[in-house]
Structure 1
C-alpha cells in the first residue's frame, strides 16, 4: 500500500467515524431506536464508575458534613422543661443506633454490618462496601427490640434492606427490600415502609418522565415475620387521582426520581377522627413527597390517593399528624431569609396556616439541606433532628432550646467532619419494659 492509498484509507476511516457521530447524534436527539438502550447503558456505566471512585467518604458522600462547632454531647439541658427520657439516634458512616440519657451518656448500642445479612442489593447487584452504608432510621420498641433500615452512599436505588434485632443485636427477622428514608410501626403490629425501584412505564399525560424512572412503593410488612403483605405504587396512586395536576410541580432535574417520597405515617382510626384530611377514614398512610413538595394520603384498603396539597414548604421531610389534628413538617428550603436556612412548622390542615414555626437564631441557626426530622412530645415540645448539623435539639412551644445534643463523633485529619444524624426517638423510662429499663439503669450506674 503506497502513501496515497494510506491517505485515502485514513480519510475514509475518518469519514466513517464522522458519519457514525452524526448518526449517533441524530439518534439521541430524535430519541429513536437505539437511543433508549444507549442512554441506559451510559447511565449504568457512569453509575458503576461513581460507585468505584469513592475513596474519601467525608467529602464524596452525603453522610458527613463539616462540623460547625467543637462542642460534643449534651450542651443544653433544662430538666424543668425538657421531656425526660432516653433518646435514640442513628448517624452517617455506621450501621448502628445509639441510646443516650439526657446527659448524653450512651447507655445502649445496636449494630450489625450489612454483609452479615446479605452480600448483594435487593435487586441482585453487588452491594456497596460496609463503610459506605448506614442506618437511615431506627425505631426502638419498649423491650429493647429495634428495627432499622440500611442505606448506601453513591448507589441508586440506595435503599438496601430492613432488619429487626433484639437488645443484643441478634437478628429476629430481615426484609431484603429497597427500604429507604422512613418507616412507621402500627399499633396493630404492622410495619409501614417505603421502597423504591426502576420502572419503564409510560404515562400519556407525563411524557417527559424519564425511562426508566425511580418509583416509590408503600409496603406493608408483617411485624412478627418481616414478610411483605401489600405493595402500592405511589406514582400510580398520584397519577390516577384528582390531584394529578400537582405532578406538574416536579422540577426538570427530578424526572428520573420524580417523587422522592421521604416519610410515612400510619393514620389509624384514632388519628383519622381528628386529622381532617382523612375524613374519619383510618388505615391510610400520610406521606411526604419532596420533589412535588406535597404531603398526601393513600388509602391502604383501596390503593387510592385520597388527599394531597401544597404549602409554604420546599424540599420538606418528616410530615407527621398529631392528636390535635395538626401536622408538623421539617421545611428544609422554604424559609426564604438571608442564608436560606431551614425551619419547622406545625400546620392546621383545615386552613393551611402555620400555628407554630421555629427557624433557630443567629447564634444557633437551624439548617439541613438534606434529611432532617421533627416529632412532638406530649408536653408540647418538639424534638428536631438537624441532620446536616449532626445535632438533636428539643424546643419548647416558646421557641426556647431546652435540650441539645451534638454528635460526639468526628472524622478527617483534623476532626473537621461530623456524621449526619438522620433520626431521633425518645421514650420515657415508664414506657420501657421493667427488664430493659433495669438493664439501662445498670449501664448508667456503671
Structure 2
C-alpha cells in the first residue's frame, strides 16, 4: 500500500500567519486612521465630502429617531395651568377687536373675538400645495408642520408660512389662501420665520439655503452653511428680487460684528428671524433707514439691522441689552419695540423674557414689560408683540401658549390661553400646550369681513363640530 502524504503545515506556522495577518490589518487600520485624521485636521480633499456625508448621516439619523412623536416636537411645551381661553378681560381698558393667531398643533390659524369665541379658522396642509418645483423633495408629514406666521392681507385673505420640525431647511414656503382655505397663490421657495406685507400688496420674506462659498477674511464661516436671503414677492406671489443677507453684512462697515458669533452658530451664523418693511410712516422719525428698507433680527448674534434692498447692503446694525430677541418693530415715533426672549436675568422666578421699547439712537430702554411671580413671562424662543392704537401692547408668549394685552403701566387687561391640550408622553398625568408663534389684532375694516353668521368652526382635529 502506498504511503499517505500529509500536506498540513505545522501549527506554529498557522499561528504565525494569523499573527502576521492581524498585524497587517492593524497597520492598515492605523494608516487609515492617520490618513483620515490628517485629512480632517489639515482640511484637505476629500475633507469636505467626508464632513458633508457625516453631517447628512447624522441629520438623517436624528430625523428618524428623534422626530417620531408630534408631542415631542418643540411646537409643544408643558402647560402651566389648566385654564383655557380668555381668563382676563377688562373691556374698559382693552383695544376691542378680533385677534388672529397661529398654533403649533398644525398648519392652521384662528380668528377669535375678545371673549375667545372662534370667529373663523383656516386650515391647509402643506401636502395640498407641494409639487415637484419645491426644493424640498420629501417633506415631513403634515402633522410635523405648523404656520409659524399667519398675517391677514388687506383683502381679508391670509398669507401663511410653513415651518417643519426635524428638517433642514425647515422653512418650506408660503401661500396666500382665501377665507375658505383655498390657495390663491403659493411660493415654494424655502421661506421661513417671518414676512411683511407692503401697502401695495408685495411681500417681503426670508428664505434659506445651503451655500458652499467661502469668505477670504472670515475663515470661520466654513461651508456648507445655512444662509438667509431677503426676497420680495409680487402681489401674485412671484419672486421679483433676492438678496443674500450674509453677503450684505460682510460687504458693509458692520462686517466685524459677524466675528462675535457664538461657537454653535457658524453653520447658521445669522439665523434671521424677523423681516419688517420700513414704510413711509415709520421712516419719518427713524434715522437709520428709509422707506423700502427692511429691519432684520439676527438671533444668535443679538443684532438688529437695517438692509437697504436697493444697494443690497446693511446700512445700520446695533446690539443692546437683549438676548435671543425676536420681532423688532419700528414705531411711528422712531423707537423700536422688540421681544427680548432671554434678557430678563434679575428675577428668574418671574421668567426670563420681557418686551422692550428702545431708543435706537442710544439703545436706552424707554418702556418695558416683564413678568411677576404671579404672572410668569417666559418664552425662550419665538414670540412677538404688536403696539395697538390705544397705546396697549398685544404680546405673544409663545412657549406659554398665551396671548396677553398690557397697558403702558404693565397691567394685564386681556389674557388668552390656547385651549388645545394633549397628554405629555414623558410625564404621566401632565398636559402639553401648543405654542402660539405669533398674533395680531386686526383692523376694524378687515374685521368687518368676518362678522357674518353661519360659520361652523372646525374642532381641534380639523373636522366640523
Same fold (TM over 0.5): yes
Secondary structure of 1:11 counterpart: helix
Query: 1:13–1:175: structure 2 CA closer, same or farther, 3 Å change rule?
Result: same
Do the aligned partners of 1:108 and 1:440 also contact (CA within 8 Å) in 2?
no
- The residue that corresponds to 1:425 in the other structure is 440
Do the aligned partners of 1:51 and 1:128 also contact (CA within 8 Å) in 2?
no
Query: 1:322–1:441: structure 2 CA closer, same or farther, 3 Å change rule?
Result: farther
- The residue that corresponds to 1:266 in the other structure is 277
- The residue that corresponds to 2:324 in the other structure is 315
Which residues of 2 match residues 146-225 of structure 1 at below 5 A? 146-223=158-235, 225=236
- The residue that corresponds to 1:103 in the other structure is 115
The match for 1:288 among 294, 297, 300 is 297
- The residue that corresponds to 2:5 in the other structure is none
Query: 2:286 matched to 1:275?
Result: yes
Give the C-alpha shift of residue 119 in structure 1.
5.5
- The residue that corresponds to 1:117 in the other structure is 129
Query: 2:387 matched to 1:373?
Result: no
Query: 1:388–1:124: structure 2 CA closer, same or farther, 3 Å change rule?
Result: closer
CA distance in structure 2 between the partners assigned to 1:51 and 1:123 by the alignment: 18
- The residue that corresponds to 1:301 in the other structure is 310
Give the C-alpha shift of residue 188 in structure 1.
1.4
Larger Rg: 2
Query: 2:90 matched to 1:78?
Result: yes
Q: How many correspondences in the alignment?
A: 439
CA distance in structure 2 between the partners assigned to 1:79 and 1:106 by the alignment: 18
Query: 1:440–1:165: structure 2 CA closer, same or farther, 3 Å change rule?
Result: farther
TM-score, normalised to structure 1's length? 0.95
Do the aligned partners of 2:284 and 2:332 also contact (CA within 8 Å) in 1?
no
- The residue that corresponds to 1:345 in the other structure is 356
Give the C-alpha shift of residue 62 in structure 1.
1.1
TM-score, normalised to structure 2's length? 0.91
The alignment's C-alpha RMSD in Å is 1.8
Secondary structure of 2:422 counterpart: coil
Secondary structure of 1:205 counterpart: coil
Query: 2:333 matched to 1:333?
Result: no
Secondary structure of 1:160 counterpart: strand
- The residue that corresponds to 1:141 in the other structure is 153
Do the aligned partners of 2:98 and 2:447 also contact (CA within 8 Å) in 1?
no
- The residue that corresponds to 1:12 in the other structure is 24
CA distance in structure 1 between the partners assigned to 2:269 and 2:358 by the alignment: 25
Moved segments of 4+, more than 3 Å: 119-122, 440-444
Do the aligned partners of 1:119 and 1:126 also contact (CA within 8 Å) in 2?
no
1:285-322 CA deviation, whole Å, 9 max, x = no partner? 01111121111111122112111111111110000001
Do the aligned partners of 1:335 and 1:341 also contact (CA within 8 Å) in 2?
yes
Do the aligned partners of 1:214 and 1:257 also contact (CA within 8 Å) in 2?
yes
Give the C-alpha shift of residue 268 in structure 1.
2.0
Give the C-alpha shift of residue 263 in structure 1.
0.6
- Structure 2 unpaired stretches of 5+: 1-8, 458-464
CA distance in structure 2 between the partners assigned to 1:85 and 1:226 by the alignment: 29
- The residue that corresponds to 2:40 in the other structure is 28
CA distance in structure 2 between the partners assigned to 1:255 and 1:111 by the alignment: 36
Query: 1:440–1:206: structure 2 CA closer, same or farther, 3 Å change rule?
Result: farther
Query: 2:450 matched to 1:437?
Result: yes
CA distance in structure 2 between the partners assigned to 1:441 and 1:346 by the alignment: 42
CA distance in structure 1 between the partners assigned to 2:93 and 2:454 by the alignment: 22
